[in-house]
Amino acid sequence: MSGFVDEAQLHAKAGDGGAGAVSFRREAHVSRGGPDGGDGGHGGDVWLVADPNQASLLGFRDHPFRRAGDGTHGSGKRRHGRRGADLVVPIPVGTVVRDGDGTVLRDLSAPGDRWLAAEGGQGGRGNARFLSNTRRAPAFAEQGEHGQERWLDLELKLTADVALVGFPNAGKSTLISVISSARPKIADYPFTTLQPHLGVVRVGRPGDETELVVADVPGLVEGAAEGRGLGHRFLRHVERARVLVLLLDLAPTSGSSADAQLEVLLGELGRYEPALLGRPRLVVGSKVDVAGSELADASPDLAISAVTGEGVGELLGRMATLVDAARAADAADVARDATALTDAGAVVPEQSVAGAGSLVVHRPVPEGISVERAGPHSWSISGREARRAVNLSDLTDDAALAEVVRRLRRLGVDRALSRAGARDGDEVAVGVVTFTWSRDRAVELFDPDDEARGNEPRRGRGRR
């Protein structure tokens, strides 16, 4: 079984909210105790957190289900239910979260990045919440809201400072095993490397050294960007690398010249992601100890031999210089973006300005309702507020129906249906409640003068 998985699915299920309680105060010598039903607890949330200790998505391959805790129900004496426990799901740094149609929802590219994958349902309000001057003994409460539930696609893109890119059997695995503690499989046949490997390299004197993360990517062949060979599955791991090291095989047995290899590698990178061609890169000739006349015909920036160690020290120094320059440029870009966002009124975390995290722009959560045609003579009203408006425990109670009408009126359901073109006799569904629409009855049901006169809204013909 492979220990590295870079694609997986996650089923995130937030906790359901607890139901509000219908209860009345019952004590000796208290003849008319008022309502004292407590609220239900909110359901727990499911959070995804980028954890540096996670190396792959292996844990989701066979067990994709993650569920937060449910809220408990309210009870009498105004005792509220307990909130459900949140669930924190650690995932590797560099994981991209997508929905079913491929839309990117969040890119957790920095350690500690958090994203709300599924929001817990709100707890229902107890009958004590519905006490008013005209409603002295409400015999209904609010049901708990179901927690959000959805499937998500997870795609890991390794975060490395340097990516080693080259043909199969070009010496990438040998090089990373020499400059780091990584121990990939090494053999004298193509496609030995079947999964990416990361190695940590320290360059310089202790106390003043540069630490680099180097990625060994499976070998590319011509046509990799279109899906040929094994390398196309791992091209995504090159996207985040600050520096590219293009390793050219100088051995006479390579089968193609160094210049031809370089042309193919640049072509595949450009077809996969054109921006990669503008990334800082080093063109390095490998296996210089057996190069022979091939070295004279090639023009790499540097020639090395991972076996004998020739040129490896110089390669590490040049890699460190390029990475330091790239890090400085990234920090300057983050600071500039943070300044622009702050000037525009966005809230930017302090760690983002320091370059330790990703920029976060806080935007208001869309609210309200929407009206959609469900059929020739039927309509569907969606929206969290609309669902909660009809989510009462007993819609056979006149006071409960009056509360539903009041809530829908305040949400503007009558106006929204009129603008959408609803006609008399059309069926309208709001959550689990369905009613027949009539313009005249809408005026009666949603009469704005009712509340001003202190009257209860009129009961409509609904069914649940």
Give span(s): CATH 3.30.300.350, the chain. 370-463
Give span(s): CATH 3.40.50.300, the chain. 162-331
Give span(s): CATH 2.70.210.12, the chain. 1-156
pLDDT band (50, 70, 90) for residue 441: low
pLDDT digits 0-9 by tens, 303-350: 888 888 889 999 999 999 999 998 888 778 767 765 665 665 554 444
Q: What angle do CA 214, 216, 218 make, to 5 degrees?
A: 160
pLDDT digits 0-9 by tens, 403-431: 888 888 888 888 888 888 888 888 989 88
Is the model more confident about 423 or about 459?
Answer: 423
Asked if pLDDT for residue 47 goes beyond 90, the answer is yes
pLDDT digits 0-9 by tens, 70-115: 999 999 999 999 999 999 999 988 899 999 888 999 999 888 999 9
pLDDT digits 0-9 by tens, 362-384: 444 445 788 899 888 899 998 88
Check: CB of residue 13 under 8 Å from CB of residue 45.
no
CA gyration radius for the chain?
31
Topology adopted by domain 1-156: Spo0b-associated Gtp-binding Protein; Chain: A, (2.70.210)
Which residue, chain included where needed, has tokens 């009124």? 345
User: DSSP letters of 258-323?
Assistant: HHHHHHHHHHHHHHH-GGGGGS-EEEEEE-GGG-TTHHHH---SEE--TTT-TTHHHHHHHHHHHH
Topology adopted by domain 370-463: GMP Synthetase; Chain A, domain 3 (3.30.300)
Tokens (6 digits) for 58: 């292996």
Greatest mean pLDDT range, 131-135, 192-196, 219-223: 131-135
Please, which residues bridge with residue 90 across strands? 49
What DSSP designation does 182 have?
A: -
pLDDT attached to residue 5 = 80
d(CA 167, CA 7): 24
d(CA 131, CA 107): 46
Check: CB of residue 171 under 8 Å from CB of residue 306.
yes
Average pLDDT for 135-141: 90
d(CA 175, CA 193): 13
In b/e form, how buried is each residue of 56-95, taking b as 16+ CB within 10 angstroms? bbbebeeebebbbbbbbbbbbebbbbbbbebbebebbbbb
pLDDT band (50, 70, 90) for residue 215: confident
Check: CB of residue 74 under 8 Å from CB of residue 40.
yes
- Rounded alpha-carbon distances, angstroms, from residue 224 to 164, 213, 235, 242, 275: 16, 24, 8, 21, 17
In the chain, the percentage of residues whose pLDDT exceeds 70 is 79
pLDDT digits 0-9 by tens, 244-283: 999 988 887 777 888 888 888 898 888 888 998 999 999 9
pLDDT band (50, 70, 90) for residue 225: low
Beta strand extents in 319-423 (DSSP E only): 370-375, 378-382
Domain 162-331 class in CATH: alpha beta
d(CA 162, CA 280): 10
Q: What is the dihedral of CA 53, 55, 57, 62, to 10 degrees?
A: -80
Check: CB of residue 94 under 8 Å from CB of residue 119.
no
pLDDT band (50, 70, 90) for residue 356: very low
CA dihedral sign, ordered 406, 412, 415, 418: negative
Could you give phi then psi for residue 210, rounded to 5 degrees?
Answer: -105, 125
Mean pLDDT of the chain: 80
pLDDT digits 0-9 by tens, 5-17: 888 999 999 999 9
pLDDT attached to residue 380 = 92
Asked if pLDDT for residue 195 goes beyond 90, the answer is no
